[in-house]
Amino acid sequence: MIFTETKLQGAFIIDIERRVDERGFFARTFCQHEFRDHGLKPIIAQANIASNHKKGTLRGMHFQYPPMAETKLVRCTRGAILDIIVDLRPESETYLQHIAVELNEENMRALYVPERFAHGYQALRDGTDTSYQVGEFYAPSTEGGLRHDDPALGLEWPLPVSVVSPKDQAFPPLRDIEGELKRKMSLSLVAA
């Protein structure tokens, strides 16, 4: 695997290294040792898939608060997505900054999302599927979210949003929750 750290410390783009022969190719997509060697949390508590019927479908921006903060390894297995993550670590030099990465069935690229990041994506093609491997169990009592269209985040989606869940549309604006977000995401609570 080829690990490329992004401008957001701890967030990595992971490309596969194909071993090609007359049958096709073989590639490793996860290895605890390699993840640990790059300072990443090599734990998978759950594996999930999401299927999106229509291009323009948007999921996000989701996260879980500590102590149930999740890492995510996201890969598009069919179609294409624009995946965006936002740094929610109050002590980080890149707090509230984001990156966007296209993941698609051709590049087979993955995005490693550290704990205390918001994550969301938009399907760029009809019939798009994604695979998530997450480092913590789903805990509804600790989940949170940011609006995908909050001007304070400055996220740019390439397509008009065709479908978004009522739950995702109902997330409050950052200005209404930033104090609580900083408090709940602070290192002092993470270490506790």
Is 65 an annotated catalytic residue?
no
Residues 6+ apart with CB under 8 A from 164: 57, 58, 59, 148
- Give the tokens for residue 24: 């096709």
Is 138 an annotated catalytic residue?
no
- Residue of 120, 96, 98, 91 whose CA lies nearest to 183: 91
Catalytic choice (53, 65, 132, 148): 132
Write the single-letter amino acid at 147.
R
Alpha-carbon distance of 53 to 163, in angstroms, equals: 9
Q: In 56-173, where does DSSP find H-type helix?
A: 166-169
2-5/98-104 β-pairing: unpaired
Task: Return the H-helix or E-strand segment holding 110.
Answer: strand 110-113
Alpha-carbon distance of 167 to 120, in angstroms, equals: 13
Catalytic choice (38, 62, 112, 138): 62
> Which residue is associated with the tokens 């997450």?
134
Alpha-carbon distance of 125 to 11, in angstroms, equals: 25
Catalytic positions are 62, 132
